[in-house]
């Protein structure tokens, strides 16, 4: 039904445009001959007019004029119209000079082109104005809005707000370009620079702020978002105007809520796409834990590099199925994605998968990662994280895998919890295994990711929505954060470096104090910490550290830069391989019972592990 409507709209516009072009030619002829068109000239126009009009309409259709949403049109769309008028006019000029030998006057073609541009553009903007007058709600009844930015995007934001009944009324703008001060954009005055936002919010009784500068990135975006959220006004971001035609509710809405990625924004990751494509394009790629937060984003990024087949391996079928449906909606039903259900603990199942599909690249994201839960069930952490990784490495190597990329964590550095200790063992296992295989093995170590399952931010948001209080474990606790897409992209980039046995460490930026993060989130939701909503300190949980580290002391001394400015590489650890595998066998036996024997084995294998834990009573 939507396609039929769109086709009908396009046909109506083409008929109207055809009539306008014909009228423009006729008016140009009258102007040229002072309203007394010679009969022979009129006959020439009647004979040649249809193909000239058709040439214009063809140019309009091929040039995308009928895909423009004129209620949001700006200078870019008028420029497009001018070019699409000029192209057929130039072709008509050439045909007139070389094919039909001057039967049309050059002045007529020039005047008609100007008239066509003015009439076609004018009628669209008049219709936009009429729609606004007839259908938009009265601005005075709407909440006052401040727009951050005074460029093309801000102009589109003003139009959007005026047309949508549930959006506010723009009354003032700010922009750091001093030349724009006291000018007006779509009738809205520019009254200051971005640092003036708090003052203008008070002066104009602003209830909502719309950030309309699409080019804001990294630290500057974080500064602007933090400034706006500190006013306690509602803060929203403008979606890219070019996405408004996409068939999703989010983009049609035009505005979106600010999220934690915005006020913890980091500079955009620049990838060496060619280097990633070299090892992914045309290959069969397996992602374990592919339905999880990081695993699913890895899959989304991998599919962009045209693998021969993407295998999503996960024990939990619901998330994996949802990812499969998402990829099919995005890339079509024939997208080369296969979901495989299974556990990395099951060596036979892994061998079946490798024998049937022959993956060439493996990304290992499957793991138990919840710190407090693994303190209670250390044996399960060992079985899944350590022994599961050993199973996967063995199967991958035996079946000719070219490259094996394991995801690690900053909790593996000087671990105080079982989860971190098992992940450190996985790093050591991978480095030991790399000594005896042609398969390129590497680990990628990074910190917390925003919005992942079980992370602190969804917990805070849930507590705030319920009215508080917000709980943190210690007032001085700090963590490293990056977005899920950034983490996935850097993992793919690290995988292209391919120094077997190495641990790649991602640049996580500056650590974030969790207390500050809680306060920002509370203000983001319109409350004042300690006034409208309390923050309660509950004490460190078993296995939790005040701060995380990305590198061991020994690694810091030898840490080297790579070709990518956000990826560093630590050299392989010195490992007595035979002794390591003996201890691994002892750990496997200890994991048959969920008791302190598991912890004792872990302490022997990882000297930097200093337990900070409690076992459940009765365990």
Full set of structural domains in the chain with CATH: 2-135 (no CATH), 139-258 (3.40.50.720), 273-448+482-509+549-605 (3.40.50.720)
Angle of helix 484-495 relative to helix 293-302, nearest 10 degrees, comes to: 60
Give the model's pLDDT for residue 617: 38
Residue 565 has pLDDT above 80, yes or no: no
CB 430 within 8 A of CB 389: yes
- 3-state SS record for 54-113: HHHHHHHHHCCHHHCCHHHCCHHHHHHHHHHHHHHHHHHHHHHHHCCCCCCCHHHHHHHH
pLDDT digit string (tens) for 165-211? 678 889 999 999 998 988 888 888 999 999 999 999 998 889 999 99
- Asked whether residue 78 carries a pLDDT value surpassing 50, the answer given is yes
- What share of residues in the chain are helix, strand, coil (percent, to 5)? 50, 15, 35
Q: What is the enclosing helix (H) or strand (E) of 445?
A: strand 440-446
* d(C-alpha 118, C-alpha 113), whole Å: 9
Of 143-147, 176-180, 267-271, 330-334, the range with the lowest mean pLDDT is 267-271
Pick from 99-108, 241-250, 500-509: least confident? 241-250
More confident of the two residues 208 and 617: 208
pLDDT tens column, 443-487: 888 877 766 655 677 788 888 888 889 999 888 888 777 777 778
% of the chain with per-residue pLDDT over 70 = 84
Reply yes or no on whether the pLDDT at 270 is more than 80.
no
pLDDT category of residue 584 using cuts at 50, 70 and 90: very high
Phi, psi (degrees; rounded to nearest 5) at 73: -70, 150
Is 0.85 topped by the overall pTM? no
The 10s digit of each residue's pLDDT in 384-412 is 999 999 999 999 999 999 999 999 988 88
Q: What is the pLDDT of residues 356-382, one digit of tens each?
A: 999 999 999 999 988 889 999 999 999
3-state secondary structure (DSSP) of residue 149:
coil
pLDDT at 167 (0 to 100): 82
pLDDT of res. 56: 85
Q: Please state, in angstroms and rounded to a whole number, the distance separating the CA atoms of residues 488 and 610.
A: 30
- Residues identified as active-site: 411
Q: In a 3-state reduction of DSSP, which class is residue 129? A: helix
Q: Where are the beta strands (DSSP E) in 246-358?
A: 255-257, 284-288, 309-314, 337-341
Separation of alpha carbons 221 and 424, rounded Å: 35
Distance in Å from the first CA to the final CA of the chain? 61
Give the pLDDT score at 307. Answer: 96
* β strands within 125-196, DSSP E: 144-148, 169-174, 184-185, 188-189
Per-residue pLDDT for 264 more than 70? Answer: no
pLDDT at residue 244, as a whole number? 42
Position 248 confidence tier, pLDDT thresholds 50, 70, 90:
very low
Q: How confident is the model at residue 616 (pLDDT cuts 50, 70, 90)?
A: very low
Q: What is the pLDDT of residue 166?
A: 72
CA 323 vs CA 281, 285, 484: distances in Å: 20, 16, 15
Select the highest-mean-pLDDT range: 23-32, 85-94, 378-387, 498-507: 378-387
Number of other CB atoms surrounding residue 375 within 10 Å: 23
* Phi and psi at residue 470, to the nearest 5°: -90, 130
User: How many CA atoms, within 13 angstroms, populate the side-chain half-sphere of residue 185?
Assistant: 28
pLDDT tens-place string over residues 429-448? 999 998 889 899 988 888 77
Tell me the C-alpha distance between 540 and 371, whole Å: 12
Query: What residue spans of 377-415 are helical by DSSP H?
Result: 378-381, 388-398
Best-predicted range by mean pLDDT among 1-5, 304-308, 567-571? 304-308
| Mean pLDDT for the stretch of residues 325-344 | 94
pLDDT reading at 243 higher than 50: no
What pLDDT does 536 receive? 92
Q: What backbone torsions phi and psi does residue 186 show, to the nearest 5 degrees?
A: 55, 35
CA-based nearest residue to 92, from 141, 152, 44: 44
Residue 70, pLDDT > 80, answer no
Residues 359, 401: contact at Cβ < 8 Å? yes
pLDDT on residue 328:
92
pLDDT attached to residue 233: 87
Question: Mean pLDDT of all residues in the chain?
Answer: 82
Report the relative pairing of strands 284-288 and 361-364 from DSSP bridges: parallel
* Cβ pair 310, 338 in contact under 8 A: yes
For range 540-562, the mean pLDDT: 63
Residue 171 vs residue 121, higher pLDDT: 171
Helices 106-135 and 2-32 pack at an angle, to 10 degrees, of: 130
């Amino acid at each position: 039904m939507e396609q039929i409507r769109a086709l009908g709209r396009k046909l109506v516009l083409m008929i109207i445009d055809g009539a306008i072009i014909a009228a423009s030619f006729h008016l140009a002829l009258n102007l040229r001959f002072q309203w007394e068109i010679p009969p022979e000239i009129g006959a020439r126009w009647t004979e040649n007019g249809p193909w000239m009009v058709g040439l214009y309409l063809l140019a309009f259709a091929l040039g995308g004029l009928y895909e423009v949403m004129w209620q949001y049109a700006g200078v870019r769309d008028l420029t497009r119209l001018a070019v699409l008028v000029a192209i057929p006019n130039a072709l008509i000029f050439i045909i007139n000079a070389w094919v039909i030998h001057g039967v049309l006057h050059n002045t007529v073609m020039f005047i008609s082109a100007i008239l066509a541009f003015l009439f076609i553009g004018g009628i669209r903007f008049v219709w936009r104005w009429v729609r606004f007058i007839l259908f938009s709600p009265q601005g005075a009844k709407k909440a006052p809005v401040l727009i951050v930015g005074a460029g093309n995007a801000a102009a589109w934001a003003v139009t959007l707000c005026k047309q949508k009944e549930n959006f506010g009324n723009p009354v003032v703008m700010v922009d750091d370009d001093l030349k724009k001060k006291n000018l007006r954009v779509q009738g809205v005055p520019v009254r200051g620079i971005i640092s003036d936002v708090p003052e203008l919010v008070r002066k104009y009784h602003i209830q909502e702020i719309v950030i309309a500068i699409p080019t804001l990135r990294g630290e500057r975006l974080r500064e602007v978002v933090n400034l706006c959220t500190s006013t306690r006004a509602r803060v929203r971001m403008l979606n890219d105007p070019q996405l408004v035609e996409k068939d999703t509710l989010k983009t049609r809405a035009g505005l979106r809520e600010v999220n934690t990625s915005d006020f913890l924004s980091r500079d955009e990751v620049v990838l060496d796409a060619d280097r990633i494509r070299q090892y992914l394009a045309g290959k069969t790629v397996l992602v374990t834990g592919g339905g999880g937060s990081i695993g699913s984003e890895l899959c989304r990024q991998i599919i962009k590099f045209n693998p021969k087949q993407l295998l999503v391996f996960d024990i939990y079928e619901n998330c994996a199925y949802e990812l499969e449906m998402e990829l099919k909606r995005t890339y079509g039903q024939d997208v080369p994605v296969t979901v495989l259900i299974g556990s990395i603990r099951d060596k036979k199942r892994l061998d079946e998968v490798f024998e049937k599909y022959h993956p060439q690249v493996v990304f290992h994201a499957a793991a138990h990662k919840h710190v407090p839960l693994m303190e209670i069930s250390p044996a399960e952490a060992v079985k899944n994280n350590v022994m599961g990784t050993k199973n996967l490495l063995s199967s991958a190597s035996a079946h000719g895998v070219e490259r094996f990329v394991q995801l690690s964590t900053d909790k593996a550095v000087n671990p105080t919890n079982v989860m971190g200790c098992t992940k450190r063992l996985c790093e050591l296992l991978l480095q030991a295994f790399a000594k005896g295989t042609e398969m390129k093995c590497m680990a990628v170590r990074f910190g917390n990711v925003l919005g992942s399952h079980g992370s602190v931010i969804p917990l805070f948001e849930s507590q705030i929505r319920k009215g508080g209080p917000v709980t943190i474990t210690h007032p001085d606790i700090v963590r490293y954060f990056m977005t899920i897409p950034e983490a996935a992209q850097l993992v793919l980039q690290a995988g292209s470096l391919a120094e077997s046995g190495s641990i790649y460490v991602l640049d996580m930026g500056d650590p974030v104090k969790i207390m500050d993060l809680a306060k920002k989130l509370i203000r983001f939701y319109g409350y004042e910490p300690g006034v409208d909503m309390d923050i309660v300190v509950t004490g460190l949980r078993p296995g939790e550290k005040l701060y995380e580290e990305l590198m061991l002391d020994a690694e810091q001394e030898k840490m080297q830069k790579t070709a990518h400015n956000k990826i560093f590489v630590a050299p392989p650890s010195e490992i007595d391989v035979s002794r390591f595998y003996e201890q691994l066998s002892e750990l496997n036996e200890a994991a048959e019972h969920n008791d302190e024997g598991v912890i004792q084995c872990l302490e022997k294998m990882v000297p930097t592990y200093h337990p900070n834990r409690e076992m459940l009573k009765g365990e």
